[in-house]
Chain A
Amino acid sequence: MTQTVSDPHIPAESAPRAPTVRTRAIVPTRPDAGEAEASTPIALSARGFCAWYGSFQALRSVDLEMKANSVTALIGPSGCGKSTFLRWINRMNDLVPTARAEGKLDLHGTDILDKRFDVVELRRRVGMVFQKPNPFPKSVFDNVAFGPRLHRRMSRTELEELVESSLRQAALWDEVKDRLRSSALGLSGGQQQRLCIARAVAVGPEMLLMDEPTSALDPKSTARIEELIRELRNRYTIVIVTHNMQQAARISDRTAFFYEGSLVESGRTLDIFTNPKDPRTEDYVTGRFG
């Protein structure tokens, strides 16, 4: 089943830095991704992972593996549990009083659901970017410096270097280098979201969780973020929740499809989109529901 969808977000010629050949079909753009897969280590693995909010079971026995330095997209209709899964990876769900989870969730072999596991250190290692850009009501500089300052006392020059490199990684440096001292709330939505990525990157994580990072942005900003994700893939393990199937196809190496709290199918993005095994996956990726 192939469905040709013209990409509304990026004209092909405007993305010269994209490392891969772009196609106009909803077909994964990294067909080569699978080749190196076998050798890459597993960053995160979930086994029999279940999650509840009170008595409501949001996730049922999820088994999923995520390779290091790759982009994993979590797709599925609203309320299917993909965001819940994401928020358990850095234990943000600890904030929800009624939330609890069972099963195993291993980050490089350590169970992060363990009561003795240091949540603060986990969150430093696993950064998160939220659906709505949430810059702090501080200056651009202080936004990026916020995280590093939490963890270590740094000299001024050290901090300035770190802020610059983080902003460069988030492809924001050139736009804000002259207004580092002005409020981050004055940036545009797309810039704010890239600032949030810079902020997450500044504390030196190994993994980045993104919860629909582009759903509040316009197409142009979305394109920039996607480009950024492709660049960041080399350094970080990225998990992205998205409602936009084209986006999942464009930027992810692997895709996991959630439906009503269960993981229906996961695998290489190419396979999920071109050769889904489960009929529900096929219905979803072809836009028959969701």
Chain B
Amino acid sequence: MAVGITYEQAKKKAWGGFFLLLIVTLAEVFIALLGNGHIIDGFTLSRLIMYPAMIILSLYKAYYIVKEFMHMGYELKGLVLSVVLPFLLLIWAVIAFLWEGAFWHDSREFIKEQNELAPADDETGFILRDKGELPEEIYFI
């Protein structure tokens, strides 16, 4: 659909895009299955290799869909920037919230440790002493 190519070329390009996305998806699933030991018995990959590989492949898929299928590669610069730039905000959002999640994790572990150290009736203990003291619906994890 790019500007200046014939109908036949455009048609070919559309189906080319299909095979590209399909191959990338199969590669992702292959990495997941291989890494988790489903393909070769007893063989696993480190998550430090698997996760970045799968994230990069997914980002590539997203880039291809936006550029070719959604025609973003052939729009004016002003439109492209006004759509793409806001997404830079997400970089910090991801870092900040995962950081926050890790902090919740550490806080939970800390409370658990302290509860094991302190006797149950100790007044100096922690606020969320035991999940069982609260109604089931109000905690989320």
Are A and B subunits of one complex? no
**Which residues of B line the A interface, CB within 8 A?**
none
